[in-house]
């Protein structure tokens, strides 16, 4: 094994080790950000026209019903995903890599460079950083809050919220959707705004 090959393999090993360590730290963080995908349907039972909204974390996002372009919201389906950072290393074909690194170029060969191209393609596909996985409903930290009126500037867990919850159920100006809901009932016509964001700390 020549010096160039040893340096390349050592570099690949160090990158793989660093990625694996970063992945373990990322997956253990309790505040991993969820991505929330909300599909709103115009009719109960997930029927009729539908629109898909996506929330990628950060501050709350208020979406007016006019932007959804549906006459009403009859049902809502939620999908929450979190990124699992789990690097996977797929070693390239060492025979091809060896020849791509050690063979001298022959400009008269029409297939010259094919091995180098294949080797570079295999090197580029060595690392898989991870994937998006569904979040179980019991562990979810994001949902949708329907508003009958435009939400104020108070944060979601403010005194205003607690006062609203203490009021009569019919007077409550919002309704939380934390799971798939096939029929919104009276909120089908009451909802004017959707607030996408975390519902738990």
Identify the pLDDT of residue 63: 94
Region class of 185: left (phi > 0), else alpha (psi between -120 and 50), else beta? left
7 alpha-carbon distance from chain centroid: 36
pLDDT number for residue 201: 52
DSSP string, 90-154: ----HHHHHHHHHSPP-TT-TTTTHHHHHHHHHHHTSEEEEEEEEPPGGG--EEEEEESS---SS
Domain boundaries, the chain: 3-90+130-198, 94-125
User: Is residue 66 over pLDDT 70?
Assistant: yes
> pLDDT digits over 79-123, tens only?
999 887 766 666 667 766 666 666 666 666 655 566 666 767 666
Mean predicted lDDT score pLDDT of the chain: 75
pLDDT higher than 90, residue 52: yes
pLDDT of residue 168: 46
**Crossing angle for the helix pair 3-28 and 94-102, to the nearest 10 degrees:** 130
Q: Which CATH number is 3-90+130-198 given?
A: 2.60.20.10
What confidence score (pLDDT) does residue 105 get? 61
Q: Between residues 93 and 19, which one has the greater pLDDT?
A: 93
Summarised one tens digit per residue, pLDDT across range 144-193 is 999 999 887 444 444 444 444 444 455 689 999 999 999 999 999 999 99
């Amino acid at each position: 094994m020549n010096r160039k090959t040893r340096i390349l393999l050592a570099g690949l090993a160090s990158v793989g080790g660093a990625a694996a360590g970063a992945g373990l730290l990322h997956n253990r963080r309790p505040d991993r950000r969820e991505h929330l995908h909300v599909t709103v349907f115009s009719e109960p039972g997930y029927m009729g026209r539908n629109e898909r909204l996506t929330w990628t974390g950060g501050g709350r996002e208020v979406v007016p019903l006019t932007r959804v372009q549906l006459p009403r919201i009859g049902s809502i389906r939620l999908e929450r995903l979190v990124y699992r950072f789990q690097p996977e290393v797929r070693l390239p074909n060492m025979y091809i890599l060896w020849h791509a690194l050690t063979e001298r170029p022959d400009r008269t060969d029409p297939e010259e460079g094919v091995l180098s191209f294949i080797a570079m393609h295999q090197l580029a596909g060595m690392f898989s950083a991870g994937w998006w996985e569904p979040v179980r409903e019991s562990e979810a930290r994001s949902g949708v809050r329907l508003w009958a009126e435009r939400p104020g500037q108070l944060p979601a867990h403010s005194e205003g919220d607690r006062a609203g919850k203490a009021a009569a159920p019919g007077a409550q100006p919002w309704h939380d959707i934390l799971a798939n809901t096939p029929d919104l009932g009276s909120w089908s016509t009451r909802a004017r705004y959707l607030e996408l964001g975390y519902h738990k700390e």
